[in-house]
Structure 1
């Protein structure tokens, strides 16, 4: 498994194991098998969050995914570094309270206890207090909050995280569902307070979701921030399993018909075009979608999630696939023909 720089002094495997279905669609036993499979394949990181599992999200299951991972670690599981998240305003934990300097140590203690570890390798803010354009909110996005208050919150939180770094409870810091402005404001606050800089951005990014290709891309390049792309297969859409109206038993669409707002009338022809490209170039469509991330002008890794071990094995089989320049150019032309299909 190849690695990509993370910050100035670390690396992350090109695939990260996503765990958001552990405890709902994925049983604890299968989850532990997936963790072992990831280690065997050379993956060195996993990604989770305090609010997981999803599909569906329920208040009574908050933290269950971290507990399942913690059980694996307690049973001797090793070889995977941990990225997890502190939920932001409007999320289920803490009744939707915002991220503050006061919430950070309390939330982090919960993460550590459930995961049964002493240190989180990458601690991320799951969702900005001020909202985000991610998850299809780009169509009606309006910036929220007052600049001074946002900057003060960043400064306060950066100071709180600096204390956690000093305590040894976190190593790195990242943002999720963030904007270019948010990343730059955080880094300014971190520099002023001695807090940890942003080393990772976890946003949705795939052949079907390329909002990051302009200003975010420039920020990632010049600030040395690594994209941790979630939903690189667009919630399974890019596998082709939902074409012609199919809804396989146990699939995400069987429990979330709109796939989080991704299902639109414009989606089918876009997916068909990418499936045709993969067929014409003799590449598995799953492997094409994941290998494409390696062609980006910024550091980029894929968070690969799977409900089943068979799905994970399929994704892992494409770890060494590379795409020809001709195919990458054809992908860009297809994107121009089918921009933002959801």
Structure 2
């Protein structure tokens, strides 16, 4: 498995990262451990989670995903062989089950880190990420932007809290998530002003149905060495083609949870069908083409894959050795020009 440098750090992370957000909801602890064993055996050394997982977020399951990882770390002895990433939840009325409403203040971040360390059964976190900003913006794949002056916690306070935790050795590096080009550059500016460590990554959605990262943020990733950790590379499984023609696979995430239908709709379905047909013309599954496309972008540090079955996981990991030809990439771009970011 190819390893890539994480930002300006000395850490090498696998080009595929194991995403975990279904563990504790759609996957049992035994299944989660099986996935981690398999991923490690295939050369993946990068796991990503969050304090709010599993999804959909709710009080009775919050933190369960980190607990599953923690129990695996305790029995496997693999901690020193892993780059472990987790996230602190940002503000939101829908998250009152976390600290009575999470904020990105110094106090909240410290509380979140201490709780994650306990659940993960580790003394340190390699990459600690701000899950979403403390201001209304177009996060979680939303296209477009409506301005709002509200900022619940100044970026300077959030960063100072992260720096304190780095100095204490509880986290090694920090990253951003669901952030904009403005937000990323502002964080870099504040860090430079104070001589603080800079963010080493940004975790945003990126897939064939949402390539908005390429506008602005891709250049930031290259020039500022803040690489993308791409999430939703399969658009919640939509790019596999399994939801086409009205299909509702019984264990599919969108079938089970309507809130994850952001990549569905008439325009999206047309694009998915075209991508699926193109993949098959080249002897590929739609899923393999979708994942390989993300992995080989120059601004991507790691592609976060997720699966609810071992068969899905094996297919996803197998794409690590797949490189799409210039001809196929050109054909993908031809579809994209007509069906650019067709999701709401």
Q: TM-score range by the shorter chain?
A: over 0.9
In 2, Cα distance between the equivalents of 1:153 and 1:6?
26
Shift of 1:95: 2.9
In 1, Cα distance between the equivalents of 2:259 and 2:70?
32
Q: How does 1:160-239 map to 2 (within 5 A)?
A: 160-239=161-240
In 2, Cα distance between the equivalents of 1:4 and 1:138?
29
For structure 2, the 5+ residue unaligned runs are: none
Partner of 2:139: 134
Shift of 1:258: 5.3
Paired residues, what number? 337
- Asked if 2 retains the 8 angstrom alpha-carbon contact of 1:4 and 1:299, the reply is no
- Asked if 1 retains the 8 angstrom alpha-carbon contact of 2:233 and 2:304, the reply is yes
* Higher mean C-alpha displacement, 254-263 vs 311-320: 254-263
The answer to whether residue 93 in structure 2 is matched with residue 88 in structure 1 is no
Compute the RMSD of aligned alpha carbons.
1.6
Q: How does 1:210-289 map to 2 (within 5 A)?
A: 210-257=211-258, 259-289=260-290
In 2, Cα distance between the equivalents of 1:131 and 1:3?
35
* Higher mean C-alpha displacement, 158-167 vs 103-112: 158-167
The answer to whether residue 68 in structure 2 is matched with residue 68 in structure 1 is yes
In 2, Cα distance between the equivalents of 1:264 and 1:237?
11
In 2, Cα distance between the equivalents of 1:339 and 1:276?
17
Shift of 1:305: 0.5
Q: Give the TM-score of the pair, scaled to structure 2.
A: 0.94
* Higher mean C-alpha displacement, 240-249 vs 254-263: 254-263
- Asked if 2 retains the 8 angstrom alpha-carbon contact of 1:161 and 1:195, the reply is no
For structure 1, the 5+ residue unaligned runs are: none
In 2, Cα distance between the equivalents of 1:295 and 1:67?
32
- Asked if 2 retains the 8 angstrom alpha-carbon contact of 1:159 and 1:194, the reply is no
- Asked if 1 retains the 8 angstrom alpha-carbon contact of 2:47 and 2:85, the reply is yes
The answer to whether residue 114 in structure 2 is matched with residue 112 in structure 1 is no
- Asked if 1 retains the 8 angstrom alpha-carbon contact of 2:238 and 2:264, the reply is no
Q: Give the TM-score of the pair, scaled to structure 1.
A: 0.94
- Asked if 2 retains the 8 angstrom alpha-carbon contact of 1:124 and 1:174, the reply is yes
Shift of 1:226: 1.0
Partner of 1:5: 5
Q: 2:149 aligns with which of 138, 145, 149?
A: 145
* Higher mean C-alpha displacement, 116-125 vs 194-203: 194-203
Q: How does 1:5-44 map to 2 (within 5 A)?
A: 5-8=5-8, 9-44=10-45
